[in-house]
Amino acid sequence: MAGWGSSIPAFNLSGIGCAAERPRGRMSHVSKALVACAMSAAVLTTPFNAPLAQVAGGAVQFRPHRAVYDISFDHATPGSGVADMSGRMVYEMTGTSCGEYAQNMRFVTRMTNQEGVAQVNDLRTSSFEELATHRLKFSSSQYENQKLAEASQGSAGPGNGSSFTEVKLTKPAKKTVKLPSDIYFPIQHSLALVQAARAGHSQFTANLYDGSDKGEKFYETSAVIGPRAGPGGVQVPSGVTNGDKLNATASWPVAIGYFEPGPTRLDALPTYELSFRFYENGVSSRLYIDYGDFAIRGELKELTFLEEGKCGTPPAPATPTMPASPVKR
């Protein structure tokens, strides 16, 4: 997934275990944080247009693809309200050589709280981004136990001569939101991140917006980029389809912190942190999401490379089909 990480709502999970008499309320709170981070994760695995990525060493070439990740529970602190979690995420990116890209993701988890109550969360998102015009269209729906809990839809782009970023929402209600002018959209952010990595930079900061959290928020992100591993330097599990192509591709370990915007960020803890291994062809593996009170992992299980679309015929968004048994019963 070239886009495992964009904007995530600023949820403070430190207090979700304080109301023991409301286990379902705690689970709802946690599930919102999980959804926010899932959308972020989907952003950081987003491939970009090779001709637009002229950096030292030649053009970066990412490949449209479909990736399936198994989600597993890592750990939780006492009072977090989370006892176990499992699930699956399917991410699909299609695009053209003209810088038109569509991303689709479905992220299904089964979460059990410390009272043994289980809840199935199903996040479905789609977006379309035009790099040349810096415009984004997005749509997301979140289901809890097969019931629609939240939906957002809208578009974003330059406003008033690019002096700010204008967001026009149609769901959950019609509304216009003004954001800073230096906003990065998901694919643009992935492009800049890889450019920084290939140029040898160890840090990259950016304001990131992807339409999550009702489409009204952006996040300040701070990425740390580790040493480059050359072809053959990192091996993926032998059972991963097309894993040999990843083994022959250079990659970097990346960790990104997501912060609430504001003047006090220097002393603040991130709302959540996302780490993964980012390959030059746009695929991500070894996902790890730390919410502070609990953490989950995502392991790449299936990888299919897709054909590039034709210029002038942008791909139509479509939520990818979830494989059988998306969560453990």
Whether pLDDT at 80 is above 90? no
Q: Please report how the helices 23-44 and 186-198 are oriented relative to each other, as an axis angle in degrees rounded to 10.
A: 60
pLDDT tens digits, one per residue of 18-36:
233 333 344 444 444 454 4
Percent of the chain with pLDDT over 90: 52
Helix extents (H) in the chain: 23-44, 186-198, 243-247
**pLDDT in the model for residue 24:** 36
Rounded Cα–Cα distance for residues 114 and 17 (Å): 10
Give the pLDDT confidence score for residue 13 in this predicted structure: 30
At residue 8, does pLDDT exceed 80? no
Q: How confident is the model at residue 282 (pLDDT cuts 50, 70, 90)?
A: confident
Which of 95-104, 231-240, 259-268 is most confident?
231-240
Name residues whose C-beta falls within 8 Å of residue 102's C-beta, 6 or more positions apart in sequence: 93, 94, 95, 126, 127, 128, 129, 314, 315, 316, 317
Structure confidence at residue 265 (pLDDT): 58
For residue 158, which of 140, 139, 185, 138 has the smallest C-alpha distance?
Answer: 185
| Whole-number pLDDT of residue 29 | 44
Six-digit token string for 171: 């769901």
What confidence tier does 289 reach under pLDDT thresholds 50, 70, 90? very high
Residue-range domain boundaries for the chain: 13-130+181-305
52-55 contact pairs (CB < 8 A, 24+): 52/99, 52/131, 52/191, 53/191, 53/194, 53/195, 55/194, 55/195, 55/198, 55/199
**90 alpha-carbon distance from chain centroid:** 12
Distance CA 108, CA 258 (A): 22
**Closest alpha carbon to 3 in 90, 75, 91:** 91
Say what the pLDDT of residue 320 is: 54
| 201-229 per-position pLDDT tens digit | 999 999 999 988 788 989 999 999 999 99
pLDDT at 275: 95
Cα 59 → chain centroid? 24
Neighbours of 8 (CB within 10 A): 33
For residue 152, the Cα-to-chain-centroid distance in whole angstroms is 16
> 19 or 89: whose pLDDT is higher?
89
Q: What is the mean pLDDT of residues 88-115?
A: 89
- Report residue 142's pLDDT band, with 50, 70 and 90 as the boundaries: very high
Tell me the pLDDT tens digit for each residue of 193-202.
888 999 999 9
Per-residue pLDDT at 102 exceeds 60: yes
Phi-psi region of 296 (alpha: psi -120 to 50; beta: other; left: phi over 0): beta
Q: Does this model's pTM top 0.85? A: no
pLDDT mean across residues, the chain? 80
Place of tokens 């894993």: 243
Q: Cα–Cα distances in Å, from 165 out to 46, 90, 118, 286?
A: 21, 30, 40, 33
Mean pLDDT of 74-103: 89
User: Which residues lie closer than 8 Å to 246 by C-beta, 6 or more apart?
Assistant: 236, 240, 279, 281, 283, 285, 303
- Nearest Cα neighbor of 177 from 152, 151, 142 is 152
The pLDDT of residue 99 is above 60: yes
